[in-house]
Amino acid sequence: MEDDHPDLTPQWIEVSALAAPALLGTAAGLMLSDLMHRNARRGVGLGLGALGILAILPFVVDGVAGLVTGPRSRYGVRRKIQLIRDGGNGLPDHDGVADELREQGLI
């Protein structure tokens, strides 16, 4: 199902959109670094570094999850085969004709 709607965004646009905030933050940091005291600069740098890691974390988790459970992984293939084997087992059991036959005592 993933291949039904291919991503038409060129790779360079996605990379530049992800890199632009980092580049702007680096430029601002270089311009403002001399205006701050050394200890304040260290604290702000560590805080911003932690925020950067937290911002990247969802992409990393999604990538690892895709590698582990993706359609080309061993687990992903087993899961896909199991879904095919199960067919409609997970569907609610609602059949109007069967209900009618049960009410009449024929089933």
* Domain contains 39: yes
Q: Residue 9's CB: how many other CB atoms inside 10 A? A: 9
* Domain contains 96: no
* Domain contains 94: no
Q: pLDDT at residue 42 above 70? A: yes
Comparison of pLDDT for 90 and 24, the residue scoring more: 24
pLDDT on residue 4: 60
* Domain contains 107: no
Q: pLDDT at residue 9 above 80? A: no
Rounded to an integer, what distance in angstroms lies between the CA atom of residue 26 and that of residue 49? Answer: 11
* Domain contains 34: yes
- Could you tell me if 12 and 20 are in contact, meaning their C-beta atoms sit under 8 angstroms apart? no
Mean per-residue pLDDT of the chain: 76
DSSP 8-state secondary structure symbol assigned to residue 70: S
When pLDDT is averaged across residues 83-103 and rounded to a whole number, the result is 71
What is the span of the domain harbouring residue 64?
A: 9-88
User: What total number of domains does the chain contain?
Assistant: 1
Rounded to an integer, what distance in angstroms lies between the CA atom of residue 74 and that of residue 33? Answer: 49
- Could you tell me if 98 and 107 are in contact, meaning their C-beta atoms sit under 8 angstroms apart? yes
pLDDT on residue 27: 81
